Structure formats: C-alpha cells, structure tokens
Amino acid sequence: MNKDDKSKKPIKGVICDAVNCEYNNGDGECRAKQISVGPIYANSCTDTVCATFRKREASNGATV
C-alpha cells in the first residue's frame, strides 16, 4: 500500500465492516482516499464488492 492511498480522515457516510482491511480505522470507518465498488454487472447489494480492500498487515509484516 502506498502511504498516499490512506487519508487522515474517514470518508463521510461510508461504513466499513471489513475489520481486516488496511483502510478500516477500527471504528467502522474507511480511510481510503477513494473507494471503488463493483463489479459492473451487479444487480443487487449482494453482488457488490469493495475493490479498494487491502488486507491489513500485522506490525511484524505478516497479514492478519
């Protein structure tokens, strides 16, 4: 992850339940500078995914 990908402030109105995402601030807020949701063929909320998701790394460099 590029340090420029992360914002100091969460995206207003975006709730994130993906606790293993690098951009989740631990309070259910997304700190990515922008998000991408898809895929293009989605017809319902169950069809969508956050393409911005990045697996959080532990402090020792391992993924959690």
Where are the domains positioned within the chain?
1-56
**How many other CB atoms are found less than 10 A from the CB of residue 5?**
14
Question: What does the alpha-carbon distance between residue 64 and residue 58 come to, in Å, rounded to a whole number?
Answer: 6
pLDDT of residue 11: 92
pLDDT of residue 60: 66
**How many other CB atoms are found less than 10 A from the CB of residue 20?**
11
> With 80 as the cut, is the pLDDT of residue 42 above it?
yes
Task: Judge contact between 35 and 50, C-beta under 8 A.
Answer: yes
Q: What percent of the chain has pLDDT over 70?
A: 86
Mean pLDDT value across the chain? 88
> With 60 as the cut, is the pLDDT of residue 1 above it?
no
Across 23-39, b (16+ Cβ under 10 Å) vs e yields: bbeeeebbbbeeeeeee
